[in-house]
Structure 1
Amino acid sequence: MGNADLRDLASIREVAFEELEGSVVAVDAHNWLYRYLTTTVKWTSDEAYTAPNGTEVANLIGIVQGLPKFFEHDLIPVMVFDGAVTELKAAEVADRRAKREAAEERRAAAADRGDAVEAARLEARTQRLTDTIQETTRELLRLLDVPIVEAPAEGEAQCAHMAATGTVDHAGSEDYDTLLFGAPTTLRQLTSKGDPELMDLAATLADLDLDRQGLVDVAMLCGTDFNEGLHGVGPKTAVTAVKEHGDLWGVLDARDAEIPNAEEIRELFMHPPATDVDVDATVNPDVDAARAYVVNEWGVAADEVERGFERIAESQVQTGLDRWT
């Protein structure tokens, strides 16, 4: 979630990839893709991912560089895409748009004065998931036989639902919303080097001596993507306050405070829009077709993606051998 204060409360441990082999992971696709998209833009010449018609598709490089981490460790990613944006998140969306526009102004100024490093850094912060990026991402994932799920609303909520119902083994996100939405376990750091982290809902609730409703109340007091928190209330203070006053309403009454749309936000976390889906966890990437799509159809520099495609192909051979040993 946007509120990283939950990092101080959640039960999180590093987990070796060996413990996760064979797992199916519902990945918050927008969260995962955005991290690779911004990294690609920051560190790669735009000529490498600009199509002949001028369209930028840095996402294609990011996907090819990011997927091998799953395949090489015998993980099946199920990419879950956001659906409709809830009205409760309108303020957060507007704030992100304003920050992108401000970064774009600073990027233009940096480019004008010849500061290429600063311009590249700010260019990464202005990225958004355009219609072309959305469409080409889905097509490349289909060619690589990666399952895709379209969420009715929040992608994190759909990931959490799939993990909670046993459709997948874990949710996968760098944010913390999956914890509030009820995912039993969430894998984090899937876009980083090294082993991932495992965030455990049951252990978190046991450590805090709270139920999930209490955890949601704590988060709302600190602030979420859907509401501002109470001034001066951090995670430890929020936990103490909920235990002392019983729930969110008791804390608000005691402090003579208000959280707009509190009932709707609370309900959204406890019973978010999500659907039951079937997932085919058998993945057989068509690497040749994917390479042709990225390099020939979209004009992405071959040397930027070749190693990624090689790793995907090699991982399929190795995974097959491992399953026969």
Structure 2
Amino acid sequence: MGNADLRSLASIREIEFAEIEGSVVAVDAHNWLYRYLTTTVKWTRDEVYTTGDGTEVANLIGIVQGLPKFFEHDLVPVFVFDGEVTEFKDAEIADRREKREAAEKRREAAEERGDAVEAARLEARTQRLTDVIQETTRGLLERLDVPIVEAPAEGEAQCAHMNAVGDVDYAGSEDYDTLLFGAPATLRQLTSKGNPELMELEATLGELGLTREQLVDVALLCGTDFNDGISGIGPKTAVSEIEEHGDLWGVLGARGETMSNAAALRELFLDPPVDEDYAIDVDIDPDVEAARRYVTERWEVDPDEVERGFERIEDTLVQTGLDRWT
């Protein structure tokens, strides 16, 4: 379901960080990382995050700039990485690839005409999570003792599961699929300035008068990352149709429509593949100096780009009330 579609239905409110201090957050790693990666590429000279052999590791700058937000508010992030791609997402991946290729062509044209600002903006849109980015992200998080969980499939689904069973206090993602995957409480805007937003499942269902199954049906009618939806059905219409006809199949039958793999798509949200066997140690002890060497010496990132971030992390280790970090 498109972000604008689900946002118009979800129960979301801004909260103060003081309300969630001391919490554990399962972070959708790919979602979080991609936002910092694209921002870094857009606003930073590529030579400061490119090694001598031409390998780009802008993600390392993004991580060092983004993690202090958790530590400064006494939050323990647990980074959850995607596993195998769900077969239903093939079309979405192909669409993203086409958009990246189109942006790359426009970037080259912008460079040729000397438009550096436009070129940088388009360069950010071509970013993808390469094998090196995956490797170095885990390497840096390990040195900072940040817990990592490997999901068997969708990271958002794993975050939602960990939240639903009570192993973490919140799921953390800018996407809205955590709601469909059953996360009771999702924190949004963790990559933005200012306060976070809290998205709550039970409040959403109560306000809409729907069950979770019906909410998933609404999403499938509108379209998700895994399906295109039914033409002409937006969120308000979908809710009305589900209220009238009861479920997805009732709506499809009344409209004379069909949906490929409808049962499997519904099951994907209601019972997604998740890992039940994971361990989370929230008593983390970051080795900031090892992390600093890893970033600036092993991967040749300009120290000036990351020093302030490392200093902010170090500051949290000596603040009163954060004894569990040491």
Aligned to 2:125: 125
1:300 aligns with 2:296: no
In the TM superposition, what is the alpha-carbon distance from 1:120 to its structure 2 partner?
0.2
In the TM superposition, what is the alpha-carbon distance from 1:278 to its structure 2 partner?
2.1
Looking at structure 2, the residues matched to 33 and 319 of structure 1 have their Cα atoms a distance apart, in angstroms, of 29
The aligned amino acid for 1:311 is R
Render the CA deviation track for 1:157-183: whole Å, top value 9, x for unaligned.
000000000110000000000000000
Q: Where do residues 152-163 of structure 1 align in structure 2 (5 Å cutoff)?
A: 152-163=152-163
SS of 1:263's equivalent in the other structure is helix
SS of 1:224's equivalent in the other structure is coil
Q: Contact (CA 8 Å) 1:24, 1:170: kept in 2 or not?
A: yes
Q: Contact (CA 8 Å) 1:3, 1:224: kept in 2 or not?
A: no
Q: Where do residues 192-203 of structure 1 align in structure 2 (5 Å cutoff)?
A: 192-203=192-203
Aligned to 2:52: 52
Aligned to 1:150: 150
In the TM superposition, what is the alpha-carbon distance from 1:318 to its structure 2 partner?
1.1
Aligned to 1:32: 32
Gaps of 5+ in 2: none
Aligned to 1:83: 83
Q: Where do residues 220-239 of structure 1 align in structure 2 (5 Å cutoff)?
A: 220-239=220-239
Looking at structure 2, the residues matched to 30 and 160 of structure 1 have their Cα atoms a distance apart, in angstroms, of 15
Looking at structure 1, the residues matched to 260 and 319 of structure 2 have their Cα atoms a distance apart, in angstroms, of 53
Aligned to 1:72: 72
Aligned to 1:289: 290
Render the CA deviation track for 1:177-217: whole Å, top value 9, x for unaligned.
00000000000000000110000000000000111000000
Aligned to 1:317: 318
Q: Contact (CA 8 Å) 1:228, 1:259: kept in 2 or not?
A: no
Looking at structure 2, the residues matched to 283 and 12 of structure 1 have their Cα atoms a distance apart, in angstroms, of 30
Q: Which runs of 4+ in 1 moved over 2 A?
A: 1-4, 319-324
Q: Contact (CA 8 Å) 1:171, 1:186: kept in 2 or not?
A: yes
Gaps of 5+ in 1: none
Residues 11 and 83 of structure 1: CA distance in aligned 2, closer, same or farther (over 3 Å): same
SS of 2:319's equivalent in the other structure is helix
SS of 1:260's equivalent in the other structure is coil
Residues 250 and 58 of structure 1: CA distance in aligned 2, closer, same or farther (over 3 Å): same
Looking at structure 2, the residues matched to 154 and 125 of structure 1 have their Cα atoms a distance apart, in angstroms, of 22
Render the CA deviation track for 1:272-306: whole Å, top value 9, x for unaligned.
00012221111111000000000011110111000
What is the RMSD computed on CA atoms of the aligned residues? 1.2
The aligned amino acid for 1:184 is P
Q: Contact (CA 8 Å) 2:316, 2:322: kept in 1 or not?
A: no
Residues 49 and 74 of structure 1: CA distance in aligned 2, closer, same or farther (over 3 Å): same
Residues 249 and 15 of structure 1: CA distance in aligned 2, closer, same or farther (over 3 Å): same
More moved, 35-44 vs 3-12: 3-12
Looking at structure 2, the residues matched to 185 and 282 of structure 1 have their Cα atoms a distance apart, in angstroms, of 23
In the TM superposition, what is the alpha-carbon distance from 1:3 to its structure 2 partner?
4.0
Q: Where do residues 101-250 of structure 1 align in structure 2 (5 Å cutoff)?
A: 101-250=101-250
In the TM superposition, what is the alpha-carbon distance from 1:319 to its structure 2 partner?
5.2
Residues 119 and 194 of structure 1: CA distance in aligned 2, closer, same or farther (over 3 Å): same
